Chain A
Amino acid sequence: MQIFPFIVVVWIVGIGLYGIVTSRHLVHQIMCLIVVQSSTYVLLLAVGYLTGGAAPYFSDIPTRTRAVDPVVQALALTDVVVEAAVTALLLSFAIQAHKRFGTLDPQELASLRG
């Protein structure tokens, strides 16, 4: 259990990158990029986890309670926003590319470029 979550993180990065390298469809590549990014959430939260720690909300528990790290959670939240923003922008590129080139295969897109 010491390192298992981190192995999963490495797996997610690897498989996401594998998807980007092998995929022949831009929208799918964007999904793989989402997968790559999701590894950073898992890593962040795993790094800030404390066995037996409560969630960092002190509405109904005393403030001295042992709780997990709130900072990584804030970072992960920022990260989620970045993900949504970048994905939306990339999708609009994909729509335009399809409109212009009539294909979303990166190989064909490259050979068509001016």
Chain B
Amino acid sequence: MNQLFALAVTVPLAAAAAICALRPFFDRRRWLLDLAAIVTAGSVVVMLALIMARVAGGDQVYWFAGFRPARGVAIGIDFEAGSLSAGLATLGAVLVTASMTFSRRYFERVATYYHALMLIFLAGMTGFCLTGDIFDLFVWFELMGVAAYALTAYRPEERGPLQGALNFAITNSIGAYLSLSGIALVYGGSGALNMAQIGAWTTRHPGSRLVVVAFLLILAGLLVKAAIVPFHFWLADAHAVAPTPVCVLFSGVMVELGLYGIARVYWSMFAGALGHQYGLSRLLLVLGAVTAVVGALYCFRERHIKRLLAFSTISHSGILLAAIGRFAPLGLTGAAVYIIGHALVKAALFLCTGIVLHRLGTVDEVRLHGQGRRLRATGLVYAVAALGLADLPPLTTFLAEGWSDEAGPGWAVAIFLACVIVTGAAVLRVGLGVFYGVGDPPGEDPQQAREAAEETGETVTGRHHTPLSMIIPAAVLAGAAIAIGCLGFAGLGAAVEAAAVRFQDQGAYIATVLHGARIAHPVAPFPAAEASASGASVATGVAVAAGSVAVALLTLYRRRLRLPGLYRRRPRRLARPWPRAAMILEGFQSGVINDYVAWLVLGLACLGGLIALIVH
């Protein structure tokens, strides 16, 4: 029995309650409050790292209140940790620690509630990763959600936050309720809530209507969380308005948790019944490709840096979904490593953006052009992280690109590489323009200037130096991305792939949870191709990064080269004619919650129809 499983979730919850109970005390001692929150988050990192070390040789199960299953039936709730689930939870805890450290000097006036909500969010993420019970999964999903809505609206004095928080909360809630309907449906058939037990039941009922529909409904909430097109609309709205340290968590892990949830649910409950069908894999591939392209397009057109980074997250989420949808160990390995690499560099990028906002008082790329020259350290970290997002070796992401594309059809690989180049170029363009003053300042028409003036800082503007507590977390995260990338040459791939094989062996999962078996040699449904950092992946990575730099430079010098501009504008208020395609793009991302829900319903109906066709 490993008490750390329970402690990793309950310690942050207890700390949050304690912080609120002693609010008047902590309000007067800000440093103590920060310290308490950072230490709690740090201790969760340690606990999860210990769990990770413990489960390296095989998954472990923890039964709450000691209700162990008898004869294959569970009546209690269990936590089930393997290397992948514990690893993702650790990643989340690391990011929470980093952003708590960052927030120390970031907010002028911060109520105790900020710390409490961050810790509750952390507990929600950890519980979501570790749980082995489908309703418990929903509970942590909702807990994470409620904390996230509140954190998004943390700056209610601004115009933006409420709009973003409302769209986020309503879309996510609908997704969550549909997921709960799916849970009820599968419970109605199997009479079980334990994911292993449900998996055993669905395997006995392959292709049953109930299983297919329950699968899609449970997926609904997770797809919304993972920001897969057409369920992605909330993400940019929420990111644009959430405080930057919160964006770190949203982009770094929350979206990825949605993807993890899809993988977890599929391989623990539905893999046997749906049977790794080619059609299903293709469906996820197409969905991922569409998401990647849409994200990349919006990303490239954006000039609000936080929204730009948010759209890049959507694009990467699509790539990850396709990688998971390969159903092969190598695809999942690629996705897992990509999630680590992406989380680290994306978090570093957001933290750098936060520093820019702190020092210069805006996140508008146009107004910032050349303004960031003084922020040398920030510029360096940003540039490194941006190149990491563009797959430059040895930053972790280059490893994953090759693995996740392995065995994919040629057109998909081309699309994904192009999307990485485009998003990388957009992020690099910002970095080169803001921190190094490269190229021409993007066009400054009156409309854009007015829009830019609407941006207001999260902090009092015009700071003269960057606090160490802000730059160090960003630098450490970028450094970690390099270090983990170097591990790729020392067998990281093989280790993660072993974990991926374990994750995909549904039989082993069921035996471990329900019968306490220890499976020494798990078998994945597909043979494991070797995951190694080859010369080819390094070459691809370098080529992609070079391509991104080239596209970024082309954009920056576009006026001298007489290329058309692509920046986002407001068609509604725009005087001169505007390309039809851009108009349509703007129309989708309307900010009206009614539209988002309509698309969500239509998207689900289409997906449902397709899945039903594929399975039957």
B156 CB to closest chain A CB (Å) equals 5
Say which residue of A33, A43, A96 sits within 8 Å of B170 (CB atoms): A33
Say which residue of B159, B180, B594 sits within 8 Å of A22 (CB atoms): B594
Spot the interface stretch: B182-190, B400-408, B505-513: B182-190
Asked if A67 CB lies within 8 Å of chain B CBs, one says no
Asked if A80 CB lies within 8 Å of chain B CBs, one says no
- Whether B572 and A20, one on each chain, are in contact in the complex, defined by CB atoms closer than 8 angstroms, is no
Complex-state Cα separation, A36 to B572, whole angstroms: 33
Count of residues in B whose CB is under 8 Å from the partner chain: 41
Complex-state Cα separation, A33 to B597, whole angstroms: 11
- Whether A43 and B184, one on each chain, are in contact in the complex, defined by CB atoms closer than 8 angstroms, is yes
Interface residues of B (CB under 8 A from A): 135, 139, 142, 146, 149-150, 153, 156, 158-160, 162-163, 165-166, 169-170, 173-174, 177-178, 180-181, 184-185, 187-188, 191, 193, 237, 454-455, 572, 590-594, 597-598, 601
A55 CB to closest chain B CB (Å) equals 19
Say which residue of B163, B174, B177 sits within 8 Å of A113 (CB atoms): B163
Q: Of A13, A33, A93, A111, which is in contact with the most chain B CB atoms at under 10 Å from its CB?
A: A93
Contact with B along A72-103 (1 / 0, CB 8 A): 10010011001001100110011011001100
- Whether A90 and B170, one on each chain, are in contact in the complex, defined by CB atoms closer than 8 angstroms, is yes
Complex-state Cα separation, A29 to B170, whole angstroms: 9
- Whether B572 and A96, one on each chain, are in contact in the complex, defined by CB atoms closer than 8 angstroms, is no
Complex-state Cα separation, A15 to B149, whole angstroms: 25
Complex-state Cα separation, A47 to B184, whole angstroms: 7
A residues near B160, Cβ cutoff 8 Å = 113-114
- Whether B592 and A93, one on each chain, are in contact in the complex, defined by CB atoms closer than 8 angstroms, is no
- Whether A93 and B169, one on each chain, are in contact in the complex, defined by CB atoms closer than 8 angstroms, is yes
Please provide the chain A residues from 4 to 55 with a CB less than 8 Å away from any CB of chain B in the complex: 9, 13, 17, 20-23, 26, 29, 33, 36-37, 39-40, 43-44, 47-48
A residues near B170, Cβ cutoff 8 Å = 20, 29, 33, 90
Asked if A1 CB lies within 8 Å of chain B CBs, one says no
Asked if A112 CB lies within 8 Å of chain B CBs, one says yes
- Whether B193 and A47, one on each chain, are in contact in the complex, defined by CB atoms closer than 8 angstroms, is no
B120 CB to closest chain A CB (Å) equals 12
- Whether A97 and B158, one on each chain, are in contact in the complex, defined by CB atoms closer than 8 angstroms, is no
- Whether B181 and A86, one on each chain, are in contact in the complex, defined by CB atoms closer than 8 angstroms, is no
Say which residue of B166, B184, B590 sits within 8 Å of A93 (CB atoms): B166
B residues near A78, Cβ cutoff 8 Å = 135, 139
Complex-state Cα separation, A18 to B146, whole angstroms: 24
A residues near B590, Cβ cutoff 8 Å = 110
B146 CB to closest chain A CB (Å) equals 6
> With A33-B174, A86-B169, A113-B160 in contact, is A17–B601 under 8 Å at CB?
yes
Interface residues of A (CB under 8 A from B): 9, 13, 17, 20-23, 26, 29, 33, 36-37, 39-40, 43-44, 47-48, 69, 71-72, 75, 78-79, 82, 85-86, 89-90, 93-94, 96-97, 100-101, 106-107, 109-114
8 residue pairs A–B, Cβ–Cβ below 8 Å: A29-B593, A40-B180, A43-B185, A44-B187, A47-B184, A48-B188, A90-B169, A113-B237
- Whether A20 and B177, one on each chain, are in contact in the complex, defined by CB atoms closer than 8 angstroms, is no
Q: Is the interface of A mostly helix, strand, loop or mixed?
A: helix
Complex-state Cα separation, A82 to B143, whole angstroms: 9
Complex-state Cα separation, A21 to B455, whole angstroms: 30
Complex-state Cα separation, A111 to B594, whole angstroms: 13
- Whether B174 and A20, one on each chain, are in contact in the complex, defined by CB atoms closer than 8 angstroms, is yes
- Whether A114 and B159, one on each chain, are in contact in the complex, defined by CB atoms closer than 8 angstroms, is yes
- Whether A85 and B146, one on each chain, are in contact in the complex, defined by CB atoms closer than 8 angstroms, is yes
B193 CB to closest chain A CB (Å) equals 7
A residues near B184, Cβ cutoff 8 Å = 40, 43-44, 47, 72, 75
> With A20-B597, A21-B594, A23-B594 in contact, is A13–B156 under 8 Å at CB?
no
A residues near B165, Cβ cutoff 8 Å = 93
B10 CB to closest chain A CB (Å) equals 18
A residues near B598, Cβ cutoff 8 Å = 21
- Whether B193 and A112, one on each chain, are in contact in the complex, defined by CB atoms closer than 8 angstroms, is no
Which residue in chain A gives the minimum CB-CB distance to B153? Answer: A93
- Whether B162 and A93, one on each chain, are in contact in the complex, defined by CB atoms closer than 8 angstroms, is yes
Q: Of B146, B153, B594, B598, which is in contact with the most chain A CB atoms at under 10 Å from its CB?
A: B594
Complex-state Cα separation, A109 to B166, whole angstroms: 10
Complex-state Cα separation, A62 to B185, whole angstroms: 30
- Whether A90 and B166, one on each chain, are in contact in the complex, defined by CB atoms closer than 8 angstroms, is yes
- Whether B592 and A110, one on each chain, are in contact in the complex, defined by CB atoms closer than 8 angstroms, is yes
> In the complex, given contacts A93-B149, A109-B166, what are 6 additional A-B residue pairs having Cβ atoms less than 8 angstroms apart?
A47-B185, A71-B187, A96-B162, A100-B159, A101-B159, A109-B163
B residues near A9, Cβ cutoff 8 Å = 181
- Whether A110 and B159, one on each chain, are in contact in the complex, defined by CB atoms closer than 8 angstroms, is no
- Whether B455 and A114, one on each chain, are in contact in the complex, defined by CB atoms closer than 8 angstroms, is yes
- Whether A36 and B593, one on each chain, are in contact in the complex, defined by CB atoms closer than 8 angstroms, is no
B143 CB to closest chain A CB (Å) equals 9
Say which residue of A89, A110, A112, A113 sits within 8 Å of B150 (CB atoms): A89
Complex-state Cα separation, A37 to B181, whole angstroms: 9
Complex-state Cα separation, A14 to B193, whole angstroms: 26
Q: 7 tightest A-B contacts by CB?
A: A110-B591, A47-B188, A114-B454, A97-B162, A110-B592, A113-B163, A114-B159
Complex-state Cα separation, A69 to B178, whole angstroms: 22
Complex-state Cα separation, A30 to B180, whole angstroms: 18
